[in-house]
Amino acid sequence: MEKISIIVPIYNVAPYLPACLDSIIHQTYLNLEIILVDDGSTDSSNKICEQYKTVDPRIQVIHQENQGVSTARNAGLALAAGHYITFADADDLLEPSLLAECIKAIETGQTDVLYHGFKKDVWKSGKVSSSLKGIPSFEGVLSKNQMKDYILAQKGNLNVNVFSYIFTRELIADLRFNPDLPYAEDAVFVMQALSKAQTYYFSANCDYHYNVRAGSAAYRWQPKLVECYRNNFMETRHFLESLELTSQEMEEIMSQKYVDGYASLVYNLCLPTCTLSLKEKYRSLQSARTEFRIDHYKRFYSLKEAGLFQKAKTFLIFRHFEIFLILFGTLYCKKG
């Protein structure tokens, strides 16, 4: 049984941290190295880390000044000694058999990386709504060439949350998270790892619980989202190049990334936490339209199998109706 290092960046999550740590230390796979990185918490998270360290010798704790999740993960990577490495968010939960089943799969397949799905638990007013996310259409081992066919069939859609991946330490030995990216930093890291990998295991296991609560990043305005997407799309292109896609195939997949990314920018600007004026939002979308080359990519964008909402949203994007996008987006965000 090879050791797996699980890295948990922690910042002011005291109400949820014990449940997360309990779910990790009670994994049926016992050969764990649990690295807790307290990123300068101002609540009792740091004390909780130390308490758990006294009861489980597999736990190591790093305390650092607040520098962000990327730096925290990098500190964990510098310490990690496991043959495999994975990550968890400090307010999420792992079902007991998650790591055992995933390690069995990755060792059976002898792959560089394993991907698994997750359960998205959305909390509102004390109630939770759960749904399965990121379930792959194929389960098993893929070579580099087979990965190309899979990506084309999925139109480039691939979950890039780092908690959904288990990497061999050798694969990511020279990779680090970019501390300058305030959002979607894990997507860049994952794409870099996938570009290097030669073999992949896709698992339908969804025993990771991704919790979304009020105040989560999904509900916060990200003023540097364009910059984050810029880096994400660059690494996506590098990954696709590693698969040796044709120029036509590349354009078709990148069109999905850029147009869907533009739609995410609309949502981001319409969040209640966004402090920009209507004019500033409009100018921001116009600037992003130019940088994302929406008018170029619309010829490659496929609406096959798209629902009515997706078609309506895309129609407004392609018609340059930014004001309507902002108005409808604001109503959508208020509806929640």
Domain locations along the chain: 4-213, 219-335
Is residue 182's pLDDT more than 80?
no
Please tell me the predicted confidence (pLDDT) of residue 334.
76
Lowest mean pLDDT among 159-163, 220-224, 245-249, 291-295: 220-224
Please tell me the predicted confidence (pLDDT) of residue 285.
95
Please tell me the predicted confidence (pLDDT) of residue 217.
67
Please tell me the predicted confidence (pLDDT) of residue 126.
79
Please tell me the predicted confidence (pLDDT) of residue 218.
67
Lowest mean pLDDT among 193-207, 210-224, 235-249: 210-224
81-100 pLDDT, tens digit each: 999 999 999 999 999 999 99
118-153 pLDDT, tens digit each: 999 988 877 888 899 999 988 999 999 999 999 998
Is residue 282's pLDDT more than 70?
yes
Is residue 63's pLDDT more than 90?
yes
Q: In what order do the strands lie in the sheet with 199-203?
A: 59-64, 32-39, 4-10, 84-87, 165-168, 113-116, 199-203, 140-143
For the 4-213 domain, the top CATH level (class) is alpha beta
Instruction: Name the pLDDT band for 207 (thresholds 50, 70, 90).
Output: very high
Is residue 58's pLDDT more than 70?
yes
Please tell me the predicted confidence (pLDDT) of residue 157.
86
Instruction: Name the pLDDT band for 336 (thresholds 50, 70, 90).
Output: low
Q: Do 102 and 203 touch, CB atoms closer than 8 A?
A: yes
Is residue 105's pLDDT more than 90?
yes
Please tell me the predicted confidence (pLDDT) of residue 216.
67
Instruction: Name the pLDDT band for 70 (thresholds 50, 70, 90).
Output: very high
- Chain mean pLDDT for the chain: 93
Please tell me the predicted confidence (pLDDT) of residue 123.
85
